[in-house]
Amino acid sequence: MTKLRGTSEHCLQNHEEYTLSEDASEAYTYCASVIPEASAVLEILEKCPRHPEKGEFPVIVVEGLDATGKTTVTESVKDALNAVLLRSPPACISQWRTTFDNEPTLIRRTFYAAGNYILASEIAKASSQSPVIVDRYWHSTAAYAIATEINGKVEDLPPAHHEVYQWPKDLLKPDLVLLLTLSPEERIRRLQGRGLEKTKEEAELEANSLFRQKVEESYRRMVNPACQEVDASPSKEEVLKTVLKVIKKHCAL
């Protein structure tokens, strides 16, 4: 199972090395007295099947930094394929996202890690009935965790093929992962046009080009499955056309 090292000195300081499912539960148990919402997340996580299996229909994940067009693409692909659209974190815990986004890094990561395993059970159920489109999944959790926890430059990231880039063996795997990309200038222009409140990570992406580069490079080093990059700078119609072409190439519909 893939392991990531954390550096937080908060209540998770004894959980510096953790796996994305077992230690997520352990971490939430450990911190429940400090963060009441952690108990609710843990209760939902413990009700999920341990190793849910994907149904017969394809599961397609759309990844990318904020303002790359994930919402537009996922909604459009959902309609085009008559698919179910799911998001990370899943709806059943998304009301606590702001709470955990304001916690130290390792606690925040554990929230998203737990969300992936909860989401996996939803994907398993939905993919038995129709194609499933997922707005972010494990790759996001891993890419941001790696970029946050590894100090230094892009060259200091774990080398390609390191186990940290490998999909967890106990997490339901998608059939295809698309990575929407934009130039930094275009992405910032779109962000400013949205006028939405920024998360801490989005503010960091905007202010720190090195952090953004580490996130993007971490995405590109993911394997099993790797990310299929899609240029999101053309018109919405052109991007959708490209995305559907990639999906039809890799998935049986």
pLDDT at residue 12 greater than cutoff 80: no
164: domain CATH number is: 3.40.50.300
Note the pLDDT of residue 17. Answer: 33
Domain that holds residue 132: 3-250
Sign of CA dihedral 169, 112, 165, 69: positive
Query: Quick one: pLDDT band at residue 196, thresholds 50, 70, 90?
Result: low
For the record, the structure tokens of 33 come out as 């007295």
Residue 189 zone, left/alpha/beta (φ > 0; ψ -120 to 50; rest): alpha
Q: Which of 157-161, 208-212, 237-241 has the lowest mean pLDDT?
A: 208-212
Place 157 in a pLDDT band, splitting at 50, 70 and 90.
Answer: very high
φ, ψ for residue 50, nearest 5 deg:
-65, -45
Residue 38's nearest CA partner among 86, 84, 99, 122 is 99
- Closest listed residue to residue 116, CA positions, set 135, 138, 100: 138
Cβ partners under 8 Å of residue 220, min gap 6: 179, 227, 229
Confidence of residue 70 (pLDDT cuts 50, 70, 90): very high
State the total domains in the chain.
1
Tell me how far apart the alpha carbons of residues 207 and 166 are, in angstroms, rounded to a whole number.
Answer: 29
pLDDT at 67 (0 to 100): 86
If pLDDT is split at 50, 70 and 90, which confidence band does 230 have?
Answer: very high
- 197 has pLDDT over 60: no
What's the farthest any 2 CA atoms get from each other in the chain?
Answer: 50
What CA–CA distance (Å, rounded) separates 191 from 182?
A: 12
Of 46, 57, 61, nearest to 126 by C-alpha is 57
